[in-house]
Structure 1
Amino acid sequence: MAAPYQVFCLAPTLPDLTTSAFGPFILHGCSTLEQLGSQQQGQTVDAVLINLKAAGGLERLLGWKGLPRAVLESAVIVVAPEPTPATCLRLLQMGVREVLAERDLHPEMLGRTLRMTLERKRQDDAARRAYSIDLTTGLPNHHQLLEHMTHLLALREREPASMALIVLHLDGFRAAEASLGAEAANVLRRKAAVRLRASLRASDVVASLGGDMFAVLLAWIDADDDADRVARKLLSSVTQPFQVTGQAVPMGARVGVGQYPIHGKEAQALLSRAVGQAAGEGLSRLLGMAAAANDEPPAAHH
């Protein structure tokens, strides 16, 4: 017999799933979000079922400090009186896996939804683990970056602090591959990754966006101009020639910045802005930044 699925349930009454063919399920009842949060501290469960009315409404649930942890660790399903598209989208953006209407809340439907949601989460988690690292550089890829940003942004909503995402579009890999070969281009990418990492704090994150682009997540910044200052430093670093197969390989670079909260409060919005700039939008500003970078002392290189 399969091990039972453990489910935290915040609802006026616990549903009866003892005969569900999609189980077995063991439900652990709680009466408030605070109690649910306390239970999360001591036990990780497979799923969390939350009745929106029992939680105190949509805004109360979205403001609950335990929600980021719940969606990270478990498959979260919300039951709403009459779920509207806007309500569903807001919940899905916060990581909720499924939204059910109260009228559909009968044992057969709930058991099937719980099991299907659990299986999708299991597959998604396996895919993220399998493809979360860029194999050429060893850096997190863009999926892992977005996931990390999403959780960090949820924390910033509770503990306000500015943060920034810098995207660098490096020019030179394709020329290196054409003249020196594919492996030399991969060596160049790895050297660029090491150089970026060496220019940052331990708390900052460097990720590969694939091909010619890298991203740098500044977990917090103290002043609004910190992101531009770090971007200038990174430009100065990566535009110094690299040594590959005994040859000096020059690199060009364009940069874009997405800053929280002034440029957006969602991971994808910040990434899209920074990528758009690095791809050429706002080029005059970027050229000015690159010129200013040449006046700063270069960072240590590898």
Structure 2
Amino acid sequence: MRPFLQAKATAFVKTELGTGPLRVLMVACEGAVSPPILAASPFGPFDLRPCSGLDAASERLAADRFDAVVVAARTVDARRLPVWPALSQAVAEPALLVLTTDEPGADLVMLLARRGVQDVLPISTDPVEALPRALRLAVERKVQDRLARKAYATDLLTGLPNQGQLIEHVNQLIALRQREPAPMAVLALRVEGLATTEARLGRESANVLRRKIGVRLRVGVRSSDVVASIGVDMFAVLLSKFQDPQDADRVAAKLAASLHPPFSVSGSDMAVAVAIGIAHYSYDGKDAATLLRRAVGLCASSQAQGRAGFASREERAPGALPSAANDDQGSDGTK
């Protein structure tokens, strides 16, 4: 790496991690106990924040920022993490490690890795040296990943702006709104159905579905608004200007309705459900990161609407998907 690029990378890492201890949310699920990680480890230091259960973790993630999240869970429960509503939030900025009560098999490791999990280890991993080292390496990998993503502004799977670009758009608009006051809001959309599509039709078909979802969202807003892809199952919309605060609710309802008709993917009809969170400037936050975190937290704690016959917080077995009409809105050219 050239010297000036190395200097920028070093500055970025310092900005991201700061100079204090790494803030780690320690989540203990039912039937599992978080290991006693050595807070004063040479790989730290770590500021360990205990948390009981995934619901409580969702609330903590919505309210605060962490460098890492460590989830201790029974192996059978770890397999259900892909349908945890707050998973996208847990992997968006923090490095997520999963600790299982049994030795994790390759299938579980790959399943979680594809959802953004940095590492999967047994709870019995040495908490004095091996686990702190794995935790620090996961945080460093996450920082390097964010650094690499700053080099481009587009989510390659959907062609939409990525989270970094969305943050820039929001901050630029906030600067404008300070001179020209007007309502603005950030919407976060959590989509259920992508994991079912991947399990039933394969990963590429799930990517096709993501692109089609992006197309419908883009069609549903004005050209001055921004639609972004911010996670495996997460999208965000920046509403740049509207007259009444309730207009954001109306746009959210319109976007949710646009996703209710099933999508035609690889010859099959796939239905999705959506949960939406709305953060208003400046009531919910005065900077882009706070607004986005608030919106994501709200949608993670909301019930998804759509996909009749499906639970709102858990995807059923792939074979249980109801039949649906063909998608006639796939204007992205994919089938």
How many equivalent pairs are there? 166
SS of alignment partner, residue 241 of structure 2: strand
Q: 8 Å contact 1:167–1:257 — kept in the other structure? A: yes
The aligned residue for residue 158 of structure 1 is 179
CA distance in 1, matches of 2:282, 2:149: 27
Structure 2 CA distance for aligned equivalents of residues 133 and 218 of structure 1: 19
Match of 1:87 in 2: none
Gaps of 5+ in 2: 1-146, 306-327, 331-335
Check conservation: 1:264, 1:270, Cα contact below 8 A.
Answer: yes
Instruction: Report how far residue 239 of structure 1 moved.
Output: 2.0
Map of 1:167-206 to 2, 5 A cutoff?
A: 167-206=188-227
Contact between 2:263 and 2:270, CA under 8 Å: does it hold in 1? Answer: yes
Using the alignment, how far apart are the partners of 2:278 and 2:196 within structure 1? Answer: 26
Task: Tell me the alpha carbon deviations over residues 277-296 of structure 1, each in whole angstroms, 9 at most, x when there is no partner.
Answer: 11015x5xx76xxxxxxxxx
Q: Is residue 137 from structure 1 mapped to residue 165 from structure 2 by the alignment?
A: no
Give the CA deviation at 1:128. 5.7
Q: Per-residue deviation at 1:131? A: 3.3
What pairs up with 1:1-302 in 2 under 5 angstroms? 127=148, 130-280=151-301, 283=303, 301-302=329-330
Give 3-state SS (helix, strand or coil) of 1:130's partner.
coil
Structure with larger RCO (C-alpha < 8 A, sep 6+): 2
Structure label with greater radius of gyration: 1
Question: CA offsets per residue over residues 176-195 of structure 1, 9 Å max, x none?
Answer: 00110111000000000001
How big is the shift at 1:127? 4.8
In the alignment, the residues of structure 2 paired with residue 131 and residue 279 of structure 1 have an alpha-carbon distance, to the nearest angstrom, of 27
Q: Calculate the TM-score normalised by the size of structure 1.
A: 0.52
**Kept after mapping to 2: 8 A contact 1:237/1:301:** no
- 1:30-83, Cα deviation, whole Å (9 max, x unpaired): xxxxxxxxxxxxxxxxxxxxxxxxxxxxxxxxxxxxxxxxxxxxxxxxxxxxxx
- 1:243 and 1:249 in contact (8 A); partners too: yes
Indicate if the aligned counterparts of 2:158 and 2:211 stay in contact, CA closer than 8 A. yes
**What is the letter of the counterpart of residue 135 of structure 1?**
L
Q: 1:263 to 1:129 in 2, by over 3 A?
A: closer
CA distance, structure 1, for counterparts of residue 149 and residue 271 of structure 2:
34
Give how far 1:151 is off: 1.2
- Pairwise CA distance, 1:129: 5.3
**Structure 2 letter corresponding to 1:208:** S
Q: Secondary structure at the match of 2:292?
A: helix
Q: Which amino acid aligns with 1:176?
A: T
Q: Is contact 2:188-2:234 (8 Å) kept?
A: yes
SS class of match (2:223): coil
Q: Secondary structure at the match of 1:209?
A: strand
* Per-residue Cα deviation, 1:161-212 (whole angstroms, up to 9, x for no partner): 1101111100011110011011100000000000100111110100001100
Q: Which amino acid aligns with 1:270?
A: L
Q: Give secondary structure in 2 for the equivalent of 1:255.
A: strand
From the superposition, tell whether residues 241 and 149 of structure 1 become closer, same or farther in structure 2 (CA, over 3 Å).
Answer: same
- Give the letter aligned to residue 329 of structure 2: H
TM-score (norm 2): 0.47
The answer to whether the 8 Å contact 1:128/1:144 transfers is no
Give the whole-Å Cα distance in 2 for the aligned partners of 1:183 and 1:128: 21
CA deviation digits over 1:251-283, x for unaligned, max 9? 0111100011222221111111110011015x5
SS class of match (1:167): strand
Letter in 2 for 1:158: R
Once the 2 structures are TM-superposed, how far is the Cα of residue 228 of structure 1 from its aligned partner? 0.4
Seq. identity, %: 51
